[in-house]
């Protein structure tokens, strides 16, 4: 039993409460915190124990009470009685003297401090008690005891006890501690959340206004709102006019003051200050091991102080869904209709279910993680995202290696890494190592098997003409074809895995063997190996273009209307060209923009698209000869660097060339296997359109394109069980997707499984004033070279866009962009990585490419002259236009 104050030197939560405990942790971790003195619960009991005992007796009848209207009415009366009793109580004079002596020792005799609650149950994981317990600011010596009484009385206020009843927290035996803290005279203050619990949790949120933070907490003054996208540290602002601030002086006390006109409309925080606060709240999250919020002030001394740190009690990591469109947005840009999404979801599940077995994952483990494998992507407001939380679970299960997980993160271009959050047991690593060794041994044999089996399966896929007019037969044919195609499709994942590993080994070898300091050398070494379908498609097209340019009759025809051109090409005089035309369409005609979307037609299905493409390319200087010459120059330069450092007889040379061969082989097959996927999807489009023709013939759909507003299961149910009209369902879907069309959604979205957020107005109230419009932009360099020219920003690409001689700037590209890319002198994208399709095709084309340039399509304007350096990853304006900000 303590008889003196401050005898217990403890900062444990059970003694001093969460607020004081967290302030102590902040100081231990090096944060700037104003000096404070904790008043532990034992000290509060010594000072006010007799009064607390009497108050507890007053509330004893409510110990089992429920929050009914009658109970609340009686509770209000008792709360008022308890407060009056405590305010009248006088603590022991000796204890008061001891308290005042200690406070003067910490803060000085003429102190100005805040009296803050730190109840033991406050800021707990299950209940925050936000705003329920009272804080008294600018407390001077004469006011200290009275304000401590008022703060303590708030523990039994009607609001605090009502909150306890609502949250299921006992109103008996309330333990109360306090914090006395030196006042900082704030010029600006606010609250920062490491995750936005009221929207997209991928953002941190900072609210800041002028003056004291109390004005913001009490909603008495306006505050700016800053969203910081955690993955890329990018800022989006919502600036408001801040006409008043909450201030303090000795004459007026706490009061509202007018903000000068010049400061009202400008941001309360600069970029540097926003990032300073952001870094603090992210460190607080790390200290707590969970999402955090902090209260902060910028003092009149120009320094940033933290006043409080606490966990965000409404966010539980195990409940979070993490969506990310990195990499997948290349294949599914913008709105994707239900049939395309459901087909993709089925494909991912089938693909990775089979792939897990290749890495020796047992059926028991797979069954235990069936939900993970079945939810690898998500349809969110019409957009396709990776379910990144499930991808990490799957990768941890399959790869069992931090290094392999990091290689996967790099390959798909994720802007940040989560691999540190996973622990990989030694036994699992050994098992994965053995499975990888087995895969390497069988690697090329497996790939040969894949292409052989695919050739036969694809022929079966296309052979559906005998089922035309019979939707049930068409569905069965589709199911059987998908099953046969996916039987060996796990080998594409094996190839990707080994390609990523080999490319990583190649990069390491270049550094370790001192071959070059140029990080792009690995990219240059894999250029120009031949046999890559995307490159062959370009060569085939350039061959067609050369024939047109070399024949005046053909050139004349291509000045006509698209449909007329197609009819003229069938004339006997153009038999040779038309044969090459048809061969191109059959072999490469499935390649187009957004080619994996079932609703998107390809040139094979609509040959007028190829006519348009030829017309748009006729003025381009690119030919098959200079295309190959450009590749050869890049590759030869890289080979000379290697030859100068490695001799054929050195063991490290053997290793290097084996790894180089594996990288070339793996990356080439990665592209070729993607082309196989393109063909499968295109064949599926043909079958779905044939089924749609049946639905239209039966008057169950108005138009064949309406089928794409149905999910696969709905098409299946129609074909096998229920030939009923679908007009109403399609009409509803069209109305729903029309609402989604203009939404601007972020690249990463985090939300709770328990409550899917409303994103229909996401960030519509925020400005883009925070965009950096400086002269130099940076990204990831993936294909060397320097190009200067006019920028062409494309957000909605079409095959016949006038790209020739320009620098193409886009959000992302997919493999179907190869024809646009072949006309451009350089490429800049917001998405991508070293091993993305953009990078691989760009290297094959031999043009400078920089990817992962944040907000490139907004920061660069069409018509600007820019310089792209594909070796350093920089984009520089060489002719400034009017600052768009």
d(CA 281, CA 568): 68
Q: Give the tokens for residue 627.
A: 């295309």
**Position 501 pLDDT exceeds 70:** yes
Name the range with the highest mean pLDDT among 173-177, 187-191, 213-217.
Answer: 187-191
CB atoms within 10 A of CB 279: 13
pLDDT of residue 63: 67
Closest CA to 606 of 562, 543, 639, 657: 562
458 membership: H or E segment, kind and range:
helix 443-462
d(CA 443, CA 556): 50
763 or 825, which is more confident: 825
d(CA 8, CA 21): 14
Of the listed ranges 61-65, 697-701, 723-727, the least confidently predicted one is 61-65
Phi, psi dihedral angles at 580 (to 5 degrees): -65, -40
Name the range with the highest mean pLDDT among 195-199, 453-457, 493-497.
Answer: 453-457
**Position 401 pLDDT exceeds 90:** no
**Position 883 pLDDT exceeds 50:** no
Average pLDDT over residues 717-738: 93
**DSSP per residue, 660-681:** HHHHHHHHHHHHHHHHHHHHHH
Strand pairing category for 253-258 and 113-117:
unpaired
**Cα angle value 657/663/664 (rounded, 5°):** 90
Average pLDDT over residues 304-317: 87
* pLDDT tens, residue by residue, 28-65: 999 999 999 999 999 999 999 999 999 888 888 876 65
Q: Give the tokens for residue 656.
A: 């290097």
Residues 177, 41: contact at Cβ < 8 Å? yes
Average pLDDT over residues 686-700: 95
SS3 content of the chain, % helix, strand, coil (to 5): 50, 15, 35
d(CA 230, CA 750): 11
Mean pLDDT, the chain, rounded, equals 86
Strand pairing category for 136-139 and 36-39:
unpaired
| Helices and strands, counts by H and E, the chain | 32, 24
Residues 842, 752: contact at Cβ < 8 Å? no
Query: In degrees to the nearest 10, what's the CA dihedral of 654, 660, 662, 668?
Result: -160
pLDDT of residue 599: 96
* pLDDT tens, residue by residue, 546-592: 999 999 999 999 999 999 999 999 999 999 999 999 999 999 999 88
Residues 864, 842: contact at Cβ < 8 Å? no
Average pLDDT over residues 616-631: 78
Q: Given pLDDT bands bounded at 50, 70 and 90, which one contains residue 79?
A: confident
698 or 70, which is more confident: 698
* pLDDT tens, residue by residue, 749-783: 999 888 777 777 665 444 444 445 556 888 888 78
504 membership: H or E segment, kind and range:
helix 490-512
723 or 772, which is more confident: 723
**Position 729 pLDDT exceeds 60:** yes
pLDDT of residue 816: 61
Closest CA to 839 of 781, 778, 777: 781
* pLDDT tens, residue by residue, 252-277: 989 999 999 999 999 999 999 999 99
653 or 523, which is more confident: 653
103 or 61, which is more confident: 103
**Position 810 pLDDT exceeds 70:** yes
d(CA 649, CA 647): 6
CB atoms within 10 A of CB 736: 13
Beta strands in 676-759 (DSSP E): 748-752
**Cα angle value 348/855/238 (rounded, 5°):** 110
Cβ contacts of 286 within 8 Å, gap of 6 or more: none
Closest CA to 828 of 865, 789, 779: 779
**Position 439 pLDDT exceeds 60:** yes
Average pLDDT over residues 874-885: 64
Name the range with the highest mean pLDDT among 103-117, 313-327, 784-798.
Answer: 103-117
Of the listed ranges 85-89, 295-299, 642-646, 793-797, the least confidently predicted one is 793-797
Average pLDDT over residues 374-395: 92
326 or 101, which is more confident: 101
pLDDT of residue 858: 82
pLDDT of residue 794: 86
pLDDT of residue 243: 92
Cβ contacts of 820 within 8 Å, gap of 6 or more: 593, 794, 797, 799, 801, 803, 808, 813
pLDDT of residue 601: 92
pLDDT of residue 769: 44
Q: Give the tokens for residue 679.
A: 């063909």
pLDDT of residue 768: 42
716 membership: H or E segment, kind and range:
helix 712-720
Distances (CA, A) of 484 to 452, 457, 674, 682: 12, 6, 17, 16
Closest CA to 822 of 604, 551, 496, 544: 544
Distances (CA, A) of 810 to 203, 331, 544, 820, 821: 24, 14, 27, 11, 11
328 or 478, which is more confident: 478
pLDDT of residue 815: 61
304 membership: H or E segment, kind and range:
strand 304-311
Total residue count of the chain as it appears in this document: 885
**Position 2 pLDDT exceeds 60:** no
pLDDT more than 90, % of the chain: 46
**DSSP per residue, 859-875:** HS-TT-EEEEETTTTEE
């Amino acid at each position: 039993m303590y008889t003196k104050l401050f005898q217990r030197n403890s900062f444990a939560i059970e003694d001093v409460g969460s607020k004081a405990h967290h302030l102590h942790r902040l100081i231990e971790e090096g944060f700037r915190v104003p000096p404070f003195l904790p008043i532990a619960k034992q000290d509060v009991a010594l000072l006010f124990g007799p009064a607390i005992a009497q108050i507890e007796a007053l509330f004893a009848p409510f110990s089992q009470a429920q929050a009914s209207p009658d109970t609340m009415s009686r509770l209000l009366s008792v709360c008022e009685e308890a407060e009056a009793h405590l305010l009248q109580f006088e603590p022991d004079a000796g204890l008061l003297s001891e308290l005042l002596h200690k406070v003067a020792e910490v803060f000085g005799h003429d102190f100005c401090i805040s009296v803050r609650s730190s109840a033991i149950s406050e800021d707990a994981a299950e209940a925050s008690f936000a705003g329920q317990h009272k804080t008294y600011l600018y407390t001077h010596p004469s006011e200290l005891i009275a304000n401590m009484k008022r703060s303590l009385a708030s523990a039994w206020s009607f609001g605090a006890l009502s909150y306890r009843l609502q949250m299921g927290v006992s109103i008996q035996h309330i333990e109360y501690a306090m914090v006395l803290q030196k006042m900082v005279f704030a010029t600006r203050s606010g609250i920062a959340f490491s995750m936005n619990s009221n929207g997209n949790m991928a953002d941190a949120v900072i609210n800041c206004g002028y003056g004291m933070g109390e004005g913001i907490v009490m909603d008495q003054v306006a505050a700016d709102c800053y969203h910081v996208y955690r993955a890329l540290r990018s800022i989006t602002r919502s600036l408001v006019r801040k006409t008043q601030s909450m201030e303090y002086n000795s004459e007026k006390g706490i009061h509202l003051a007018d903000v000068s006109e010049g400061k009202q409309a400008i941001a309360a925080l600069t970029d540097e200050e926003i990032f300073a606060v952001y870094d603090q709240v992210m460190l607080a999250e790390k200290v707590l091991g969970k999402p955090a919020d902090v209260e902060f002030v910028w003092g009149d001394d120009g320094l940033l102080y933290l006043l409080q740190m606490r966990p965000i009690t409404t966010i539980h990591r195990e409940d979070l869904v993490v969506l990310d469109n990195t990499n997948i947005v290349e294949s599914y840009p913008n709105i994707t209709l239900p049939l395309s999404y459901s087909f993709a979801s089925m494909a991912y599940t089938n693909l990775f279910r089979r792939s897990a077995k290749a890495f020796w994952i047992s059926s028991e483990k797979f069954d235990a993680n069936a939900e993970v494998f079945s939810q690898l992507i998500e349809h969110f407001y019409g957009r396709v995202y990776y379910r990144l939380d499930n991808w990490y679970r799957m990768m941890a299960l399959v790869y069992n290696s931090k290094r392999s997980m990091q290689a996967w993160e790099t390959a798909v271009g994720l802007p940040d890494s989560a691999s540190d959050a996973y622990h990989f047991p030694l036994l699992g690593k050994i098992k994965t190592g053995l499975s990888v060794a087995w895969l390497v041994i069988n690697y090329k044999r497996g790939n040969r098997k894949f292409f052989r089996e695919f050739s036969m399966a694809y022929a079966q896929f296309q052979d559906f003409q005998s089922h035309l007019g019979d939707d049930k037969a068409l569905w069965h044919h589709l199911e059987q074809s998908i099953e046969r195609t996916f039987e060996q499709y796990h080998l594409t994942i094996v190839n990707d895995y080994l390609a990523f590993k080999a490319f990583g080994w190649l990069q390491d070898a270049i550094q370790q063997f001192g071959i070059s300091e140029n990080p792009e050398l690995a990219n240059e070494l894999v250029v120009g190996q031949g046999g890559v379908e995307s490159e062959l498609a370009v060569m085939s097209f350039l061959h067609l273009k050369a024939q047109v340019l070399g024949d005046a009759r053909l050139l004349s025809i291509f000045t006509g209307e698209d449909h007329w051109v197609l009819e003229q090409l069938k004339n006997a005089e153009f038999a040779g060209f038309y044969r090459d035309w048809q061969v191109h369409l059959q072999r490469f005609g499935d390649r187009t923009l957004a080619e994996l979307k079932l609703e998107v037609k390809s040139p094979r299905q609509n040959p007028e698209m190829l006519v348009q493409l030829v017309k748009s390319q006729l003025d381009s200087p690119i030919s098959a000869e200079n295309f190959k010459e450009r590749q050869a120059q890049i590759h030869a330069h890289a080979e000379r660097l290697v030859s100068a450092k490695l001799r054929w007889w050195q063991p490290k040379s053997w290793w290097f060339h084996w790894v180089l061969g594996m990288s070339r082989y793996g990356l080439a097959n990665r592209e070729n296997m993607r082309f196989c996927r393109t063909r499968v999807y295109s064949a599926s489009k043909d079958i779905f359109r044939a089924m749609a023709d049946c639905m239209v013939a039966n008057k169950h759909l108005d138009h064949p394109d309406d089928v794409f507003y149905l999910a696969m299961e709905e098409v299946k149910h129609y074909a096998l069980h229920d030939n009923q009209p679908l007009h109403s369902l399609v009409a509803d879907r069209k109305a729903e997707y029309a609402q989604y069309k203009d939404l601007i959604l972020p690249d990463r979205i985090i939300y709770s499984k328990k409550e899917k957020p409303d994103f229909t107005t996401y960030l519509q109230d925020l400005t883009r004033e925070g965009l950096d419009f400086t002269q130099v932009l940076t990204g990831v360099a993936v294909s060397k070279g320097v190009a200067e020219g006019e920028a062409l920003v494309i957000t909605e690409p079409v095959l016949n866009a006038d790209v020739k001689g320009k620098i193409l700037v886009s959000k992302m590209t997919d493999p179907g962009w190869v024809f646009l890319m072949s006309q451009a002198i350089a490429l800049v994208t917001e998405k991508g990585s070293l091993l993305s399709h953009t990078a691989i095709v760009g290297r094959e084309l031999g043009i400078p490419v920089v990817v992962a340039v944040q907000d490139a399509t907004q920061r660069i304007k069409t018509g600007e002259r820019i310089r792209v350096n594909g070796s350093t990853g920089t984009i520089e304006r060489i002719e400034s236009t009017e600052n768009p900000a």
